[in-house]
Each structure stands twice: as structure tokens, then as C-alpha cells.
A and B are shown apart, each in its own frame.
Chain A
Amino acid sequence: MLPLLQIQPGILLLIGLAVTTLLFWFFWPMNGGLALITKLIRNNKRALLEDALKYIFDCEYNKTSCNINSLAGHLNIAMDKATQLLNRLTTLELVTLNNQSVALTDDGRSYALRIVRIHRIWERYLADQTSVAPADWHHEADRIEHVVSKEETERLAAQMGNPVFDPHGDPIPTAEGQLPKHRGVRLNTLQEGEMGRITHLEDEPRSIYEQLVVLDLYPGMQVYVTDVTDKKITFVAHGEECILTPLFAGYITVEKLSKEETQAPKQELLSSLKIGENAEVLGISPNCRGSQRRRLMDLGIVPGSKVSAVIKSASGDPVGYRILGTTIGIRKQHADQVFINRKN
């Protein structure tokens, strides 16, 4: 018999299992073997240098202090490695060291701004055009920013109509490196009875951002603070009551609003329409973006148009809505993002 077949089937099976697992692991995107190898080969030094510049820039922008300890902590590297990195940055004349604090030179700042621009444009792209989950936008962009070229990013920006904000509400620096001054206040500084519009959700750390996404919070949303205590902040966003600890609320930046600017808080959703019912469209949630939003508008879902639910799929999910004389199947996840006004 052939040598290969003389191996016991059970052992061969185990070998097969091992090979298959290895194969899966190797080709798994993001943290599989192939991805790890490309990550290693890819200019690792460049990534670290750029991340450091970005961090120092962030500190400057938010007017917090930045030193070697916080840098090492943020980049998750050892102290001696952080020292090496800072030395390299100084020899490249990208940063200056003054006692303990680190500051960017003009060159360093424009380099950092370039990276920030690439990062935020890609976040915008991921949010608008792809099905990448909100919690992954930041990390995916973190990976992309070190590999794409400036030209590629500019093409993408032009294609999206040169966006000025990333999906978390951060302004995108212009190609010339301009950035508006930091504005807004943190949600935990608002008092009872004050109104605001969310302008920014901090995307790091990921665990906190995930919580904010689960609560369906997004930039552009109006909030009304109803109760403030030491332990928690209660506020109403889109008619839903949310409770956050002051720590979590600190990750949300809002712009204060006067009472006159506010809209009616709670709105009904298209998905709540039962078969045979009619309504009028009020608008599409700011949380529905990019091509999906345009698609809905192309189909006639604009403020003022009449809509009625007519049929339900045999499997229950897409519901057929009659809009402008056509029947269109819309999934629940998208019908959840259309506001309606039921007619009496």
C-alpha cells in the first residue's frame, strides 16, 4: 500500500484538522497569519512615527499636556522605545523637547495634519459607503492611514464631495492643513434643562465608543438634559431617555442650543407602519449616510411625500412600501431610519 495511506485514519484526520485550522488562520483577514506578515513587512517604523505625531497633535489640539510617559502609554510601547522614537522625531526636526513636554515643529504639525486628514477621510468613507460596523471605523482607518498614498485619499475625498467632518464629528483638516479651533463643551458640563446638539463622539477607547453606538447616539442629534447628579446624567435624545455616568458623558461633545432652535423630540419611524397604513415622510435620520441615504431619496423618500405599507415579505423582513406609484422593498434596518408623521 502507499505510505500515505498507512497512517491511521484518526491521525490523518487530526493532521487534516490542524492543516485546515492553520489554513483558516493564515488567510483570516485583520489578524490572520498573512495579515500579520504584511503588517510586519509594512513599514512598521513609519506607522509608529505617524501614530506618535498624531498623538502629540491631538494633545496640542485639545490643550492637554503631552510627555514621554503618556506617549509610551498611548502607543503601548516600552519607555526606552518611546525615548528612541522621540529622539528620532527630534533628529527629523518634527518635534522639539522642552524639559518634559513635547511640542510639534511646523513640519511636524503639517505631517500630523496630513495623517489626520487621511484618517478622517477614510473614516468618512467607511461610514458612508461600506458595511463596516461603527465600532470598527476608527481601527480600520488607523490601519489604512499608514498604507494609502495622499493622492489616493484626495481622489476619494473628491469623489465624496470633499467632506469636512468625519463620522464622529471631528473636523477634517483641509489639504493645506487648516483646522478650525476646538469648540463645544462636554456633555457632563451641561446643567439640568439645557439643550445641545451632539457634535462629536470620542472614538477611543473602543469599549466606551461601542456603548455610545449601542445607545444610538450620533453627531447631529439633539439632546435635552433632564437630570444631573454626581453619579449620572439623564438626558433625552430623539424622544428616548438615556442615562450615562459623567465619565461616559465626558466622551460626548455638544454645542449648546437655545430653546428656539429645538425640534419636536420624538418622531415615529417608517418601520412602525403596519400593512395598509398611510403616512407622510418627515425625513431621514442623519445616522443613515452616503449611498444608502441617496438611494432612499432617489426612490422618493423625501420630506412631504406620501408613503404606505402594502406588502410584507413571506419571511417577514423587507416590507413593500408604496411610494410615488412604485412598490419598493425596504429592510427594517433602513425603515428604522426614516421618520414619518402618521395621518389621522
Chain B
Amino acid sequence: MEDTTRKSKGEDIISAANSARWDLGTDFHDSIIESIYENASHIARKTVKQVGEKEAYSFDLKVDKLVTSKWLGFPMMFLVLAVVFWLTVAGANYPSGLLASLLIDTMHPILKNLAASINMPWWLDGVLIDGAYLSMAWVIAVMLPPMAIFFPIFTLLEDLGYLPRVAFNMDNLFRKAGAHGKQALTMSMGFGCNAAGVVAARVIDSPRERLIAIITNNFSLCNGRWPTQILIATIFIGAVVPASLAGVVSAGAVVGMAVLGIFFSLVVSWGLSKSVLKGEASSFSLELPPYRPPRVLQTLYTSLIDRTVIVLWRAVVFAIPAGVVIWLIANIKIGDLSLAEHFIDWSNPFALVFGLNGVILLAYIIAIPANEIVIPTILMLTVLSTNMTDVGAGSGVMFELDSIADTANVLHAGGWTLLTGINLMMFSLLHNPCSTTILTIYKETKSLKWTLVSTFLPIVLGLIVTFFTTQLWYLFTT
């Protein structure tokens, strides 16, 4: 009895409180919080004394005015980015060659001999050494040096305080696309590695803008795709202009692809923020921290461990099974043809509509673990499917040729034209992220839906773009 009266009293109080809240109006929560903040800052102003802060800031302000000035801001930004890329590409060349000669030219024959000396069956030797080992070796040789250069430089710039200023300058563009200014940072990070770019999206505190940055990061041409772009541009685009201009034109084509990627990243951001993502949580602010001398050693250590090693490890883990698959499909035969040849023949009609070919499709499917092995895989598959006997290292063994002219010969023999080259460049820009990035997206978003969107959206875009390029090409050339 007593219990029920107590309960009804409690309910009375709750309903009285509820109606009191209606009388208070909409903004009483805010006014309470506001007055707390106000009191706190009042107390702080009374009691905290600042010594010497002004001097330090006036220097920062001078630098800030320069870095964000209307005329110097953007040129400076492009210059810094260009230097970072140049350092990465030029600096990685030598160690990459060294690693390749060590892991591929030296270690591979040694392992083959070792396998032969213990009488390993040919198929086991093929799967393990030609497949798994070789693909792992490729990934390490091509991926490790650029990452080990790019990430520390990038982290140093971040530490120095320059990157927040880049975001500050670029914000206007990203605001118009419905995204966050800091997406400029994750985008530049993506030029190094998309998986690292996706992780870097953590700096964006608003969930909606962060998701946009994650989904569109793949449109930044990553380190693994630069070599493909450069090689194909040299072979096919450089060849249509006089030799004296070839270098400039093919470099221009690669930069054009990167710019096209930025364009797609902005357009897709805009599309997403106007449609599916407009209902997601959103807010904006951008802190511009004071400039600090970077802690070089610490930065080197953390960027090597956190970014390079982790990303490389994930790539290697995925590359090993991919190598096994590559060897197996090139060597398992049904009838007279290997599995790879069956797939190439079967998918060729479909691929040709998009100006690609079966070899490219197959290479992109089995090279999902790492974009770095696309070119070796394409070469191997082309040799396999055209039955060339004088080049290559045997079926299922990935290889790269020393001279660009030899590579060009193999590709031309495989029926490649200028159109195929252009389409491959486009498809290399617009296709699914590598498996490392897909896994990272899943880990960062914890959502299967957004992982699938980030995976398939670029493929669909890539197919649309290559289709229209091809059909318009045919329309105007025939």
C-alpha cells in the first residue's frame, strides 16, 4: 500500500518536472552550459597570468601571414608537395633497385637451387618460391622505400605545424564539396598510401566529414600506382609525340591523372554529402597550433613503426596468398589452356567494350592485395596468353623487364594500343582500393556497408569512365 503511494508520488514529481521543462523553453540547457563556461573563463582571466606568450606568438603570426597569404599560400603549398613527391620518387629509386636485386635477382635463384638440391616437387617449388616468395619480394622492394621516405617527411611537416595551415587554405574548396578542410591532409597522405590516408582521417572529428574523407581517399593516386602510371604513360602517351617532348608529355599525363583523381575526390565528396551522407552527424572547427621545431628522431621512429611497418606487414600478409593464386592459375590446366587463359578468353569481349582486355581485368582481380604487382602480373599473363617463348621467366612467374622498350614490345604483342594505355591509366586511378586499404576502412568505420561502398563505388566509376572514353574514341576514329 505504502509502496504504491510512494510510486505515484514519484510519478507526480517526474510529471511536474517535465511540465517545468516546457516552461523553461528551448535554450535552458545552453544557458546553463554557457554560464558554466563563462564563469570558468572569468575565473581564469582573473587568476591566470601569461608571461612572454605574446613575443612567441608574434613570430608565429608573421609566418602564418606568409603561409596563408593570397598570392604565396597556394604556390608554396604546391612547391612543398612537389618537393615531397620528388624526394620520395627519386630517393626510393636506388633502395628499391637494391632490394629488387637482392630479393629477386639474388635470393630467388638461390632459393630455386636450394629447392632443386633437396628434390622439392616442381609444383611445391612453384607455389612457394615462384608464387608466394616472389610476390612478397615484389611488394617489399616496391613498397618499402617510398613509404619509408614519404611518411617521415609527411609526419615532420605535420609536427612542424605546416599541415594544419594547408587544411586552412584548402578549406574553402572542401567546404563547397560538403567536406572538411582536413580532408586535404588525408588526401595528400593518400598519395603515399591509401591505407595510411584512411587512418589519418581520424584527425577529422566530425563523423560525417570523416566518412567522406575515408570513402574518397582511394581517389588519391598512391605510391603503388605511380610506377604503373609512369610506365604506361611513357610507353603509350610519350610515343605519340616527338621524342624531344616525350618526357614532358608523359610526365604531364601522370600529373593529369593525379589531378583527375583530386577532381573525382571532390565531386564524389560533393555527391555523397548531398545524398546518402547528409543525415550523418556534422560539425566544423580547425585549430592552428603554434609552430614547433619537429622532434626528428621520435618522428622517424613513430612514422616507421606506426605507418610504414604496419602497412607493409598487412600488404605482405595479403601478397603471399596472391602470389600462390597467381602461380596456380597460370599452371593449373583444363584441357590445353591454363585457368588464367580460360578467364582471359572468356572475359575479353566484355573487357574490350571498356577498352581494356582480359589480361588487365585478371591482373586487377588477383592484384587486389597490392597495386605494386599489377605490372609484373600483366607482363606474365600477356606472355602466357600470347605464347611468347623468348621473354619472361616461365608461367606463373612474375617479372619486370629492364628496358622500357622491351616492356613496350611485350604489350604491343599483347594487342595493346594507345587507347588501352589510356584506359589502363584511368582504371588504375579508378578501381577498388587494395585489400590492405579495404581492411583498414573496415577497421576504421566498423561498418560493412561503408566498406562495400568504398570498394565498389570506384570500380563502377572506373568502368563508366573507361566505357565512355572507349566508345567516344571509336566514334571519332572510325
Residues of A within 8 A of B (CB): 2-5, 9-10, 12-13, 16, 20, 23, 28-30, 126, 129-133, 136, 140, 161, 164-165, 169, 171, 174, 176, 178, 180, 219-220, 283-284, 286, 290-297, 299-300, 302-305, 310-318, 320, 324-331, 334
Contacts and interface: CB of A to CB of B under 8 A. Distances in A.
Contact of B283 (A164, A295, A326): A295
A29 B72 CA distance: 41
B449 interface: no
B33 to A, nearest CB: 7
B181 interface: yes
Contact of B275 (A28, A129, A313): A28
B400 interface: no
Contacts of B53: 325
Contacts of B50: 325
Contacts of A311: 61, 64-65, 68, 168, 288
A327 B64 contact: yes
Interface in B429-456: none
A120 to B, nearest CB: 12
Contacts of B175: 317, 331
A310 B172 CA distance: 18
B393 interface: no
A286 B73 CA distance: 35
B34 A303 contact: yes
A313 B169 contact: yes
Contact of B22 (A23, A171, A220, A318): A171
A132 B278 contact: yes
Given A12-B471, A318-B171, A318-B181, 13 more contacts: A9-B474, A13-B471, A130-B208, A136-B278, A290-B283, A294-B33, A303-B38, A311-B64, A315-B172, A325-B57, A327-B288, A329-B181, A334-B284
B280 A302 contact: no
B297 interface: no
B55 interface: no
Contacts of A313: 68, 73, 168-169, 171-172
B41 A300 contact: yes
B286 A16 contact: no
Interface string B62-80: 0011001110111000000
A23 B456 CA distance: 13
Contact of A283 (B26, B34, B281): B34
Interface stretch (B85-93, B230-238, B460-468): B460-468
B359 interface: no
B19 interface: yes
A5 B275 contact: no
A321 B302 CA distance: 32
Contact of A16 (B22, B172, B281, B471): B471
B460 A23 contact: yes
B279 interface: yes
Contacts of B276: 29
B281 A328 contact: no
Interface in B142-178: 167-173, 175, 178
Contact of B287 (A131, A136, A327): A327
B37 interface: yes
A235 B46 CA distance: 42
Contacts of A28: 275
Given A299-B285, A317-B175, A219 B26 contact: yes
A4 B351 CA distance: 11
Contact of A320 (B22, B34, B288): B288
B169 A314 contact: yes
A194 B141 CA distance: 79
Contacts of B110: none
Interface residues of B, number: 71
15 contacts: A2-B349, A130-B208, A130-B279, A131-B273, A164-B21, A178-B19, A286-B30, A291-B282, A297-B34, A304-B38, A304-B42, A313-B169, A314-B72, A327-B60, A327-B64
Interface of B: 15, 18-19, 21-22, 24-27, 29-30, 33-34, 37-38, 41-42, 50, 53, 57, 60-61, 64-65, 68-70, 72-74, 167-173, 175, 178, 181, 206, 208, 273, 275-276, 278-289, 348-350, 352-353, 460, 464, 467-468, 471-472, 474-475, 478
Contacts of B15: 174, 176, 178
B26 A132 contact: no
Dominant SS among interface residues on chain B: helix
A55 B19 CA distance: 24
Contacts of A318: 168, 171-172, 181, 286
B287 A329 contact: yes
Contact of A316 (B25, B172, B279): B172
B172 A130 contact: no
A53 B273 CA distance: 34
B458 to A, nearest CB: 14
Q: From A4, A164, A171, A296, name the one whose CB has the most chain B CB atoms within 10 angstroms.
A: A164
Nearest to A218: B26
Given A9-B471, A28-B275, A130-B278, A331 B171 contact: yes
Contacts of A5: 349, 352-353
A4 B41 contact: no
Q: From B460, B467, B472, name the one whose CB has the most chain A CB atoms within 10 angstroms.
A: B467
B288 A328 contact: yes
Contacts of B288: 311, 320, 326-329
A329 B286 contact: yes
A315 B34 contact: no
B284 to A, nearest CB: 6
Nearest to B18: A174
Contacts of A325: 50, 53, 57
Contacts of A316: 70, 172
B41 A324 contact: yes
A304 B41 contact: yes
Q: From A129, A136, A313, name the one whose CB has the most chain B CB atoms within 10 angstroms.
A: A313
Contacts of B30: 284, 286, 293
A302 B30 CA distance: 11
Contacts of A331: 171, 175, 284
Contacts of B170: 315
Given A13-B472, A131-B208, A176-B15, A310 B64 contact: yes
Contact of A297 (B24, B33, B61, B279): B33
Nearest to A197: B25
A201 to B, nearest CB: 12
Given A286-B27, A310-B61, A317 B172 contact: yes
A86 B173 CA distance: 53
Contacts of B171: 313, 315, 317-318, 329, 331
A13 to B, nearest CB: 4
Q: From B24, B57, B70, B285, name the one whose CB has the most chain A CB atoms within 10 angstroms.
A: B285
A165 B352 contact: no
B206 A291 contact: yes
